[in-house]
Structure 1
């Protein structure tokens, strides 16, 4: 039974990226970055929900490749997604070992995070940051 006085809570979120080839992209996220997926949706496949460590990322195959526009191409240094992590250096080492395309290596940012970024098959920038100064 639902408690009418309890405040509803957000329980998860998922960035959604448009990609050129949903199967190739999902497999890249799996092989290079350790994400998993349970299934593709539709026939032919055009959508997938990736997950890793309780985090989610959705990929939707674009109807037209011109619609795949990484954010950094329209706004300098802007990511398409950002994940907070427990150990940026260890995750970076894992991604390097798995062949991920590193956009920039681990560095300390003025906003209190040690982070690095990757680019996926479509050029989307995804950053992974560890809070090192919680101020």
Structure 2
């Protein structure tokens, strides 16, 4: 039998789970998932899910340089997504741009400094 892969979930360490979840909901237009797990918050949009665990006292992702890149999420309609989140005040490091590796990419940063690449295949 061949293994089948499903949804991918990103687990992040954050200093303030309420603030981090609010950023994903208010700025990146994700949905909050109502899961009762003290010290954790969860968001999802389509098949992209983030589980945020409160880790007070650990270095923020913003101190990790290039190691703060945590995800590449494929989006159908990347330019539309950019137009949706830009007026919401998302911290967009760079807007959609074609890359030589065949992807159109946009980079955002979360309050904890995690950097996420949203992309789509250039057709």
TM-score, normalized by length of structure 2? Answer: 0.88
Matches of 2:105 and 2:66 in 1, distance apart? Answer: 19
Structure-1 residue corresponding to 2:23: 28
The equivalences for 1:1-135 within 5 A come to 6-42=1-37, 45-64=38-57, 66-70=58-62, 73-75=64-66, 79-133=69-123
Unpaired runs of at least 5, structure 1:
1-5
Bigger Rg over Cα: 1
Matches of 1:69 and 1:123 in 2, distance apart? Answer: 5
Displaced runs of 4+ in structure 1, greater than 4 A? Answer: none
Give the RMSD, CA atoms, in angstroms: 1.9
Matches of 1:36 and 1:27 in 2, distance apart? Answer: 10
Higher strand share: 2
* Conservation of the 8 A alpha-carbon contact between 2:14 and 2:56: no
Matches of 2:6 and 2:80 in 1, distance apart? Answer: 26
TM-score, normalized by length of structure 1? Answer: 0.81
Unpaired runs of at least 5, structure 2:
none
Count of aligned pairs: 123
Structure-2 residue corresponding to 1:3: none
